[in-house]
């Protein structure tokens, strides 16, 4: 009889333990998301991408606009969504509460119903205080934020949908004389503006959102310790009082923590809106490094260990979901290669989204339609190659040749190979139209795949080039102005 009584508390203890484990696992699964950008000449059908998100277990999604087709595809799913208002709309939203209310009504209220879209945040702008913008959005960001949040409140959604502002990490710094997190603070010329926004966010129980890119620390500094960019690195730790830092992400994150603490907001909730690693375009942007970083990031974020200055799980959105071949490459040729998935929805590498570090494959987008297996290459019978350099430059200025850059996947092609790659990219972007594979007789069509080793000559997906139809002129200008110089492909 005594033995029977002893079994009861043990069973209860086991059940309680298992319940806690399940709750913890469920919490872990909800603490990361992914960014879905749409700066591509040809886009996969949103419904197929959303199905892929569900198949892979993504539970959070951050968008850079409010695309009706994407929102319709998300209807009925449980995926938590952060919509966005682009920077070019900040001026209007800052001065016109009616415009803000109309935007909220069309893009939030219309989808917030039982069985609708699970909208959690509205991102007001994207990195509006970036140094490169030279203060363009300094006076419009806070008024726009207020008008959007007040529009959400008027719609009765203020308690469930919060407006936030995704900032770049360049809004805070540590002095060169003592570059540790505890000396961190907001940049003097921005401090008052940032603190005003922080105060408003805090009052509305909204998070502070920041984009952190360890890759850019490595890219922008030839002397940056390579291993310090990763979570399993072996570089010498950096001491900050009693705290030790073994990776630049934690150091950057805690610099923000200290900046907020000095501003009077030590407990401010922080979301990492963008963090990731590109796979092509420049040195160190490759699949090996991207897998190493992103797997380490997920493991670190989901572990619950937090950073030296702030314990607990880290709320992160990986950047990004799919490669975007029409992004501006002014920051660098890597900008079009941040995706976990290729342009056609194929995963680039294995990634365990549970954070446990297992070699689990990601699920690809299913049922993708492609154009015919045809390529455009340099005509081997072409005799007069005088116009070849200008033809290559023309093709690359109107397509994507970033894989030809130094240290990239197609860097080792010959001059003839460079020409074929450039011609094919132009040909594919233009839907394989026969007249786009001529170049004054220098090019020809072929049904033989010219891919060489790790350098892939893609065949475009067979979906309408909606970006070119709707926003083509703007983005083509951006591509040309922001393009990398292509002289190196002729060497």
**Which residues are designated catalytic?**
127, 274
Beta strands in 12-96 (DSSP E): 32-36, 60-63, 80-85
Q: Would you call 182 helix, strand, or coil by DSSP?
A: helix
Beta strands in 366-480 (DSSP E): 375-378, 443-446
Are 339 and 296 spatial neighbours (Cβ–Cβ below 8 Å)? no
Q: Which two tokens stand for residue 218?
A: 């490595």
DSSP 84-108: EE-GGGHHHHHH-HHHHHHHHHHHT
Cα 321 vs. chain centroid, distance in angstroms? Answer: 7
Helices (H), 345-465: 388-397, 415-429
Are 338 and 289 spatial neighbours (Cβ–Cβ below 8 Å)? no
Q: Would you call 466 helix, strand, or coil by DSSP?
A: helix
Residue 29: exposed, middle, or buried by beta-carbon count in 10 A (0-12, 13-18, 19+)? middle
CA distances from 435 to 215, 399, 426, 431, 443 (A): 40, 16, 11, 11, 10
Q: Which two tokens stand for residue 62?
A: 């951050």
Interhelix angle 415-429/388-397, nearest 10 degrees? 40
Are 422 and 378 spatial neighbours (Cβ–Cβ below 8 Å)? no
Burial 285-318 (b: 16+ CB within 10 A, else e): bbbebbbbbbbbbbbbbbeeebbbbbeebbbbbb
380: Cα within 13 Å, side-chain hemisphere: 2
What's the full length of the chain, in residues? Answer: 491
| DSSP secondary structure letter of residue 453 | T
Are 32 and 60 spatial neighbours (Cβ–Cβ below 8 Å)? yes
CB atoms within 10 A of CB 460: 21
Q: What is the distance between the alpha carbons of residues 52 and 39, in angstroms, rounded to a whole number? A: 19
């Amino acid at each position: 009889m005594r033995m029977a009584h002893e079994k009861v508390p043990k069973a209860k203890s086991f059940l309680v333990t298992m319940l806690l484990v399940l709750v913890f696992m469920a919490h872990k699964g909800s603490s990361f998301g992914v960014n879905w950008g749409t700066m591509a000449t040809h886009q996969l059908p949103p419904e197929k991408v959303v199905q892929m998100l569900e198949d892979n277990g993504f539970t959070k999604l951050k968008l850079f606009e409010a695309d009706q087709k994407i929102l319709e595809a998300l209807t009925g799913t449980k995926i938590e969504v952060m919509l966005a208002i682009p920077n070019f709309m900040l001026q209007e939203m800052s001065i016109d509460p009616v415009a803000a209310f109309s935007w909220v009504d069309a893009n939030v209220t219309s989808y917030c119903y039982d069985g609708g879209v699970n909208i959690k945040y509205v991102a007001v702008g994207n990195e509006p205080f970036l140094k490169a913008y030279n203060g363009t959005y300094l006076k419009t960001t806070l008024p726009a934020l207020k008008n959007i949040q007040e529009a959400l409140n008027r719609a009765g959604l203020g308690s469930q949908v919060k407006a936030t502002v995704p900032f770049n990490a360049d809004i805070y710094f540590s002095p060169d004389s003592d570059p540790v997190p505890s000396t961190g603070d907001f940049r003097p010329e921005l401090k008052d503006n940032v603190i005003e926004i922080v105060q408003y966010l805090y009052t509305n129980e909204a998070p502070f959102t920041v984009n952190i890119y360890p890759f850019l620390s490595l890219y922008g500094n030839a002397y940056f310790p390579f291993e310090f960019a990763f979570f399993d690195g072996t570089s010498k730790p950096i001491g900050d009082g009693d705290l030790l830092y073994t990776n630049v992400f934690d150091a950057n994150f805690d610099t923000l923590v200290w900046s907020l603490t000095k501003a009077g907001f030590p407990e401010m909730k922080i979301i990492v809106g963008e963090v990731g690693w590109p796979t092509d375009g420049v040195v160190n942007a490759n699949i090996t490094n991207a897998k190493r970083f992103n797997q380490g990031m997920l493991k670190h974020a989901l572990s619950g260990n937090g950073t030296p200055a702030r314990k607990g799980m880290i709320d992160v959105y990986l950047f990004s979901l799919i490669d975007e071949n029409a992004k501006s490459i002014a920051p660098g040729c890597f900008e079009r290669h941040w995706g976990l998935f290729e342009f056609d929805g194929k995963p680039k590498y294995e990634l365990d989204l549970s954070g446990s570090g297992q070699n689990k494959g990601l699920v690809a987008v299913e049922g993708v339609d492609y154009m015919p297996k045809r390529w455009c290459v340099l005509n081997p019978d072409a005799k007069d190659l005088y116009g070849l350099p200008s033809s290559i430059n023309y093709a690359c200025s109107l397509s994507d040749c970033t894989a030809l850059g130094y240290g990239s996947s197609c860097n080792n092609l010959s001059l003839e190979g460079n020409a074929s790659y450039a011609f094919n990219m132009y040909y594919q972007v233009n839907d394989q139209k026969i007249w786009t594979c001529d170049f004054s007789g220098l090019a020809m069509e072929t049904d033989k795949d010219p891919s060489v080793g790790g350098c892939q000559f893609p065949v475009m997906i067979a979906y309408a080039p909606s970006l070119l139809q709707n926003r083509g002129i703007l983005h083509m200008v951006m591509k040309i102005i922001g393009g990398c110089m292509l002289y190196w492909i002729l060497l």
